[in-house]
Structure formats: C-alpha cells, structure tokens
Chain A
Amino acid sequence: MNNAVQTATTVTLVVNGEQLTRQVSVRRNLADFLREDLGLTGTHVGCEHGVCGACTVKVNGAIVRACLMLAVQLDGAEVITIECAANDVITDLRREFHVRNALQCGFCTPAMLLTAADIVENNPQAGRAEIREHLSGNYCRCTGYQSIIDAVEAVCRSRTKS
C-alpha cells in the first residue's frame, strides 16, 4: 500500500469571479493563500484561531473563517473577498460606516463589512439585538461597536422601507 503523504496539490477555484488554477501546499490555509499567493490582502489575519473574525470571506455564498479552512479544500469552490464585494449593499455599508465613524484603524473593517452584508442580504428586518448577535464573532478594538451597529441598522432600515 502506498503510504506516501501528499504535501502539495493543484486546486482550481473561482476567486472574485475569476477562475484560477494553482499549486498549493496542503498545509496552506485559505487566508494565507489569498494574501500570499494571490496578493489579496484585504482579508486580514488577526488571531489565526477563529476568534477575531478579521479573515471572514464568503465560500459558496456562506461567510466563513479563512484561517480555519485549507486552500486544498477549495477545489471547485467559489470565493468572494472584500476586493470584489462592491455591490449595492457593500457600497451602502461603506457609506454608513464612513458617515458614522464606524471604523478607526480599519483592521476589522473588511470582515465587518462582509459579515454585515450577510445579515443585510439575508435578514434585513433584523433589529439591533440580531445585528449585534450576527456581528458577535467579529472583534473591533477601536470603536466600541455602537457606531458599527448604528451603520448596519441604518442600511437594514433603508432596505425594509423601500
């Protein structure tokens, strides 16, 4: 029986609408793959054990921690990072974040925007408590969260009014 351990492999995936084929080390996590191999540095690496949420990206439509997936698991998957997330929801969130000072250093902001867009798109009726719960896995060490919740709530309300 062949006991040789595979240490690298080829993956084909769609990142931000573009199909790519890359040779990856099997130990490479998705966050490092995006940043180091693809140069997409909008995905930030904070804690590297799933607590801070700064590496949040979308895989096959669902928000996930990029530090807790391996690049080899992404064969055939569709990944969206903050670099490509320039839809109406993200544009509105960026404006409200800006207006309300919902960011200071900006380290958490890309992941905060993707996580916020997830609730605006899937549950725009959400009240403050639900918004807070949905963002609870994303740490911000600057703002104290109130202005972030305010911004997301404003975008949710603009969606439920129209």
Chain B
Amino acid sequence: MDIYSDGARLLAGGQSLIAALNMRLDAPQVLIDLNGIGELVGIAQSNGRIRIGAMTRHADIENSALIAKTLPLLSQAAPLIAHPAIRNRGTFGGSLALADPAAEWPACCAALNAEIVLASRKGERRVRAGEFFNGLYETVRRSNELLVAVEFEPALPGERAVCRELAPRQGDYAWAGIAIQALVEGRTLRNLQLAFFGVGDRPVTAPHVVAVLEGQTVNSELLAAVRNALEQDIAPASDPQCTAEMRMHYAGVVLERAINDLLRNGGTE
C-alpha cells in the first residue's frame, strides 16, 4: 500500500470490486488480496464491547448468536444485503470502505456510531462512523490505511432494533431504508439511534426526527410531526431509479413501519 498508494486496490470480498473490474470501471496497478489474513476475521466480545473484524463475511454476521444477542440491528440488516451467494463472500469492512450510500452496514454503523479502526505502518487510529463517511463512495480512510475492525457498544436490555428498506426487488439496493434502535417502554421510544440509507450521498442521521420522537407517546399526531421533521433532516436527489419525491415518500414509509415494528416486537431484545 505504501509503494502503490492510489494505484493499489484492497481486495476484500470482491463483490463490488471484481464486478467493477469485470466491467472495466476501474483499472488499478495492483490488487492486494486481504483474504487469508486471519487477524481480520471474527466476532469477539471484550471489555463489554463487540469487535467485528473487517474481513468477517455478511453471512457470518447473519448467523452469529453473539451478534443476535448484542447487536440485534446487525442481525436484522444482514438478510437485506444482496443474496445468499453474495453474503457468503462479501465482507463487513469492505462494505464500509466502499461506502455505497444505499448499503445497509454503513447506516447501521452510523446509527450506532460505531468506532472504525484504521491501521497503517505508523499505527492505529479510531474514527466514529459519524465522521467516517465523507460522501458518495468517499471515506476518511487514507490510501496507506487498512480498515481492520469495527467496535460497538452492545444494545442495552430492553433495546430493540429494526432495519427496513424499500427496494425494487429482494436484494437490490434500497430506494430508501432505515436502521433504528431504541429502548421501548409501552408506546414510548427512548435512547433513539437511527440512520437512513439510500436517501443521500452517505448514511444520514435525522436529529429532528429523533427530537420529536424521543420519550414521547407514539400516536397519529406524533407520527405526523415525525414526517414533518423528516423533511428537515433529509433531502434526497432524483436519479434514473427514483425521483426525489418518491424517495422522500419511501423514507417516510420505512420510518413509520420501523416505528410500528419497534412498538410491536422489533427484532430481539
């Protein structure tokens, strides 16, 4: 990486990079294959935090009992990622480093404000997910840095999580999606943590929505206020797949469905 700098690409699961190479959208000087570096693989709990190695596959997160117990948001999101054969190869760190704004993992990390661990020959630095994503396929990772792991605070007892999206087909990139976690007490949500995906150039948190929802009893008036708040938080753009108006509408739909899911049962506690 130090030798080739921007001429090198790091090959993680390859489920986006090799597709880009096949389509001649990218022509790096060299590929550096990260498969086979055992230290980058695995899910572990230590000092109360959960650490996911960058080369952990989507399917391993989907099937992890530890993740289901401690980070239910990730268990909810995993089945929405592409298809089984892709989830068997694609990696957690690869998805974050690519920073596709319609992808699930960046939004989950932004919602939970996970800590992203970057390493270079000079040492290690840690960046909160809120500061990691810089724009469309852009992150603060430097060309001499490797994303090695992500660390999370586990969900508290009583906290529930939901990941919801609307997409043209199962496994496609979402028109709009939401990753949300909250402590549910009757019809009230507290400790709200959420991020939208597919509605901007990076995962989008929604402070106005959180301010309206936090600690209030959910009823039809509150949901109307939440929809109004959403228009202050997100400003989707139009593209050939979906107009800005439709994206805004879909974001409201997934938000309301996610709130109802949380109040009903929303994932595992």
Contact = CB atoms under 8 A, between A and B. Distances in A.
B84 A134 contact: yes
A105 interface: no
Interface string A52-96: 010010000011110111101100000000000000000000000
B37 interface: no
A144 to B, nearest CB: 14
B154 interface: no
B116 interface: no
A18 interface: no
Nearest to A122: B84
Chain A interface residue number, banded: 20 to 34
Interface in B159-206: 169-171
Contacts of A133: 79, 170
A7 B171 CA distance: 35
B86 A65 contact: yes
Contacts of B18: 29, 50, 67-70
B15 A136 contact: no
B81 to A, nearest CB: 11
A161 interface: no
A68 B15 contact: yes
A144 B35 CA distance: 37
**Max chain B CB contacts within 10 Å: which of A53, A63, A67, A132?**
A63
Interface in A1-54: 1, 3, 5, 26, 29, 48-50, 53
B36 to A, nearest CB: 9
B29 interface: yes
A115 interface: yes
B22 A56 contact: no
Interface string B1-25: 0010000000100110011101100
A70 B85 contact: no
Given A136-B169, A136-B171, A137-B171, A68 B84 contact: no
Nearest to B13: A68
A67 B23 CA distance: 11
Interface of A: 1, 3, 5, 26, 29, 48-50, 53, 56, 62-65, 67-70, 72-73, 115, 118, 132-134, 136-138
Given A115-B84, A137-B82, 12 more contacts: A5-B29, A5-B30, A49-B23, A50-B15, A50-B18, A65-B15, A65-B85, A68-B18, A68-B19, A68-B22, A70-B11, A137-B171
